[in-house]
Each structure stands twice: as C-alpha cells, then as structure tokens.
C-alpha cells in the first residue's frame, strides 16, 4: 500500500498552527494504527513557506539561539534574518521542536519537504 504525500499550501497560514498540524501528521497520530514507538510512513510537502504569517512583533523580537561550545560563545539571529536567508528554516525548526524528543525525531523530519514557492512550479 503506497502512501500519497500530504500536500499543504502554507500561504496565509499562521506558523505555529500549521507546524503543529504537520507534526501530528509526521508522527502518524492521524492514523488509527498509531503507536508512539513506531515510525510513521506519512510524508508531508508544504509549499509557499515564504508566505507563512507570524503574529505580533515576532518578526523582530523572536530569536533563535546557537552556541559554539566555547565560553561566551552564544549567538542569536532574529526571525527576520533567518527568513531572509531561507524562508523554510523557521518552519522546519518549529516542526522539529514539536516532534517527540527521541531517536525517531531525526527520522521523522526527513519525511518533510518544504518549498518556498508554489509546488507546481517546483515539479
């Protein structure tokens, strides 16, 4: 039995709400045979990630932190800076952080494909 991928248009949708929907699909919670220790075969394609909406002042206030491993090596980027480089990165991070924190998370996120433009243009 072959699974067709779920295709979702992200234009005009709110970042967190769309990310939680995608995380539920990637975990397989929308299927009757869901088991928390089983890797789901669901694949999700989200296009128009550049048109995803965020609310409030998050565009300039939200920060993404990273650390070099050295003392005083903490650095951050704002949502605006990251989304200018690649508009899919904030959405991927949101979905990744909503997945369960176990060995399956890295394998689940591989079933997510993101496109900043329209999906039909990508084919």
For residue range 44-78, list pLDDT tens digits in order.
999 999 999 999 999 999 999 999 999 999 999 99
Q: pLDDT band at residue 121, thresholds of 50, 70 and 90? A: low
Instruction: Give this prediction's pTM.
Output: 0.90
**Residue 15 near residue 54, CB atoms below 8 Å:** yes
pLDDT for the residue numbered 1: 46
The domain ranges of the chain are 6-53+87-122
Superfamily designation of domain 6-53+87-122 = Ribosomal protein L13 (3.90.1180.10)
pLDDT for the residue numbered 102: 94
SS3 per-residue string spanning 29-82: CCCCCCCCCCCCCCCEEEECHHHCECCCCHHHHCEEEEECCCCCCEEEEEHHHH
Report the percent of the chain where pLDDT is more than 90: 89
């Amino acid at each position: 039995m072959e699974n067709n991928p779920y295709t979702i248009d992200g234009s005009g949708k709110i970042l967190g709400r769309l990310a939680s929907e995608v995380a539920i699909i990637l975990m397989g919670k929308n299927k009757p045979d869901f088991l928390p220790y089983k890797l789901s075969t669901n694949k999700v394609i989200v296009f128009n990630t550049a048109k995803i909406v965020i609310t409030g002042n998050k565009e300039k206030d939200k920060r993404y932190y990273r650390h070099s491993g050295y003392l005083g090596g903490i650095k951050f980027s704002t949502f605006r800076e990251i989304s200018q480089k690649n508009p899919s990165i904030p959405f991927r991070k949101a979905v990744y952080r909503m997945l369960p924190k176990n060995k399956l998370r890295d394998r689940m996120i591989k079933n997510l494909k993101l496109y900043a433009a329209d999906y039909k243009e990508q084919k």
